[in-house]
Amino acid sequence: MKRRTGTVFIVIGFALMVAALVLTVYNLWDSRRAGEASKEILTSLDKQLDRESVTFPTDNPDREMPTVKIDGYRYLGKLKIPDLDIEVPVMDKWDYDRLLISPCRYSGSVYKNNMVIAAHNYSTHFGNIQSLQPDSKVIFTDVEKNVYKYKVLTVETLSPHQTDELETPTKSDPWDLTLFTCTYDGSRRCTIRCEKIK
């Protein structure tokens, strides 16, 4: 009886190890796929940007952010995080299907200094943002080639239910840009608060 029980546990353990290996391989493949899709979109996006750069335009803050259409989706621009060596396109709105392709605007606008960008925790998207340090640089370039420069203020973890805290700057927590992704177990949100710099 003990022998049979031991064999069952060995078989179950082996099956769990195989399942973990398959999941790991799938996650690595999916991250690579997302990274390649982002590179292709960036190439198309760069071809469509044809104006000279203007830093910190004084446009009406209520103006809707302009977009360009690529492969059926609308993009606001691109986000660069030098410390992580990533540059990714940013879609104008989010849903789970869009997040499989690119980071997306979750809410807000660069003109109102309250934009929130969401992405999957792929290594080619926001998978390593928890390693950013205060003063790390973040650069957003819109489709009119206006460049918005930021520095990281804080790295924090929020629960999925803290929507107001995620989307709304306060006097005690002032920020101009937020980046977030799910933690690896999916239970919380790694959240990066950024402040605009010149």
Report domain extents, the chain. Answer: 38-197
Band (pLDDT 50/70/90 cuts) for residue 88 is very high
Identify the CA nearest to 88 among candidates 52, 129, 152, 41: 41
Cβ–Cβ < 8 Å for 116, 106: yes
Q: What is the pLDDT of residues 103-141, one digit of tens each?
A: 999 999 999 999 999 998 888 889 899 999 999 999 999
**What is the topology classification, in CATH, of domain 38-197?**
Sortase; Chain: A; (2.40.260)
Choose among 53, 47, 105, 46: nearest CA to 76.
105
Cβ partners under 8 Å of residue 99, min gap 6: 118, 119, 120
Do the beta carbons of residue 91 and residue 104 sit within 8 Å?
Answer: yes
Who has greater pLDDT, 13 or 101? 101
pLDDT recorded at residue 5: 72
Residue type, 85: D
pLDDT at 92 over 90: yes
Residue 148, pLDDT > 90, answer: yes
The first and second tokens of residue 101, run together, are 């392709």
